[in-house]
Structure 1
Amino acid sequence: MNILVIEDDPLVAETIRITWPVSTDRLRILSTYKQAAHIVHSCEIDYFDGIVIDINLPDGNGIEILRAIRRNTNVPLILISGAGTGDSRADAIDLGADDYMMKPFHIRELQARMSRLVTHRSERPVEKRKDLVSFGHVICDLQRRVLACSGSEMRLTDAEARIIEALYKNKNRNCSKSFLYKIAFFREFDPYDKTLDVYVSRLRKKLKQLSEESGSCIQTVRGSGYRYSEL
């Protein structure tokens, strides 16, 4: 599992990291809302199988982070807190938390609860993939790897098709370069690597050749990545 942990107490965070019982799980631990904001408000949140959030952070409230995440995704989410009542825990679950654990807790129990939630989510019916998507006035056939408009067609590479699909599935949401590198090239993002920028530039040119307006659908998000905005 890929797990995002937002916990400001360094002792708790380190304990989670060191004693997490499944060595193949990957934990990303952040300590403030500011550090997590670019993930919470972008499609990169979908990269994680589960999220653990402390209610009380130095620069934000876990409930607000919960609300922000639930506007975009149903990823399994467990809230943790050193204080709370039955009513406050019930309120958090009503807002979309899948579970709520009080400190101190056993890390093995946290992992077991998260594993159960992730497994349950994976057993839900999977939405059938859409092979035909529209970028402005251009139709993209993801199966055939073709862009088409007004009787004209242009071929796509596999990586270009993966970029199109990722942007389309997250329309009007920021897609970070880190997220797109994993989706399109199956590797981690290197700030000195301009491969993605080259691919996006080629995609824009192809879209513009078929429909001048459609090229503007792929917008640059300065300091972050790209997004697909409908015409």
Structure 2
Amino acid sequence: MTEPHILVVDDARDIREPLGTYLKKHGHRVSLAADAARAREVVQNGAIDLVVLDIMMPGEDGLSFCRWLAGRGGPPVILLTAMVEDADRIVGLEIGADDYVVKPFNPRELLARIRAVLRRVPPTPPTVASGLRRFAGFVHDPDQRTLEKDGDKVSLTSGENRLLGVLLDRPRQVLTRDQLLDLTAGREAKPYDRAIDNQVSRLRRKIEADPKQPAIIVTEWGGGYRLAADVEGLDGGGETADPAGDPS
């Protein structure tokens, strides 16, 4: 059983929060955002399967955010519109929205439309960026699923390889367990899955001098995990301020 991750974007709390609760009860993982700025953060730091998006919001409106989503290739969008927003519904569909629901709406209808859109849009499996990268004295080869340091090479499982790739993509950024699940498992992730903790523990045993006191993959209590090292691309990619990869 898969658990699609739905992002609900609506400035009205009395719509946003009850809808989130309803979708959770029907087998979805849910993130909530009160505006487009917060929604961008969620999309950029997780693997969202579908966005339920209000058109009329203060600041950046839903149509502008929908255009931004379409420009980066998804995820699919269902618009929440008012009866008087007929022209906006048409514009939304033209710029990339997949469906719309008129307010006030029946949550069962919206759930049915969500399921229909997800059936049409196959899940995109998480991928690992290609190219060699150096961090904390290690060189990661994602294609060969290996780590090398001082001539010693160790193999990584596919899960460890994906997890490390995600951390290397976002050095020094705190990633929650939910975000790591999204980015490594996508729609196959299950709520409250502790596999991330197990993978972090296994990965630490392969890269930390003392896995019980990690200095490279550090725990942010109440937050998640953070790669405490700079990352250098070895195939012509970008380089951070500390190419030596000092984890301090």
1:5 is paired with a residue whose SS is: strand
Give the structure with the higher percent helix.
1
Structure 2 distance, partners of 1:135, 1:33, is 35
Shift of 1:69: 1.6
Q: 1:216 to 1:96 in 2, by over 3 A?
A: same
Q: 1:21 to 1:130 in 2, by over 3 A?
A: closer
Structure 2 distance, partners of 1:196, 1:218, is 21
Structure 1 distance, partners of 2:224, 2:105, is 44
Shift of 1:17: 3.4
Structure 1 distance, partners of 2:52, 2:94, is 17
Q: What is the letter of the counterpart of residue 154 of structure 2?
A: R
Structure 2 distance, partners of 1:27, 1:212, is 37
Q: 1:190 to 1:78 in 2, by over 3 A?
A: farther
1:57 is paired with a residue whose SS is: coil
Show structure 2 runs of 5+ residues with no match.
Answer: 185-194, 198-217, 243-248
- After superposition, the CA RMSD in angstroms is 4.3
2:78 is paired with a residue whose SS is: strand
Partner of 2:200: none
Q: 1:73 to 1:218 in 2, by over 3 A?
A: farther
Structure 2 distance, partners of 1:53, 1:100, is 9
**1:192 and 2:221 are equivalent in the alignment:** yes
Partner of 2:94: 94
Q: 1:59 to 1:130 in 2, by over 3 A?
A: closer
TM-score (structure 2 length as normaliser):
0.61
1:4 is paired with a residue whose SS is: strand
Structure 2 distance, partners of 1:177, 1:3, is 18
Aligned runs of 1:194-213 on 2, under 5 Å? 196-198=225-227, 201=229, 204=231
Partner of 1:106: 106
Structure 1 distance, partners of 2:14, 2:107, is 13
Q: What is the letter of the counterpart of residue 73 of structure 1?
A: G
Show structure 1 runs of 5+ residues with no match.
Answer: 220-231
**1:135 and 2:145 are equivalent in the alignment:** no
Structure 1 distance, partners of 2:152, 2:80, is 52
TM-score (structure 1 length as normaliser):
0.65
Instruction: Say whether the 8 Å CA contact 1:136–1:217 is kept in structure 2.
Output: no
**1:63 and 2:63 are equivalent in the alignment:** yes
Q: 1:217 to 1:83 in 2, by over 3 A?
A: farther
Structure 1 distance, partners of 2:106, 2:97, is 19
Q: 1:186 to 1:9 in 2, by over 3 A?
A: same
4+ residue runs over 6 A deviation: 129-132, 136-139, 212-215
May I ask how many residue pairs the two structures share in their alignment? 200
Q: What is the letter of the counterpart of residue 17 of structure 1?
A: G
Aligned runs of 1:19-168 on 2, under 5 Å? 19-20=22-23, 22-40=25-43, 42-44=44-46, 47-122=47-122, 133-135=130-132, 140-142=141-143, 144-146=144-146, 154-155=153-154, 157-158=156-157, 161-166=161-166
Shift of 1:72: 2.2
Query: What are the superposed Cα offsets for residues 25-71 of structure 1, whole Å, 9 maximum, x if unpaired?
Result: 2222222223323224x252xx2221101011122200111122222
Structure 2 distance, partners of 1:53, 1:75, is 12
Structure 2 distance, partners of 1:54, 1:186, is 33
Shift of 1:84: 4.0
Structure 2 distance, partners of 1:20, 1:37, is 21
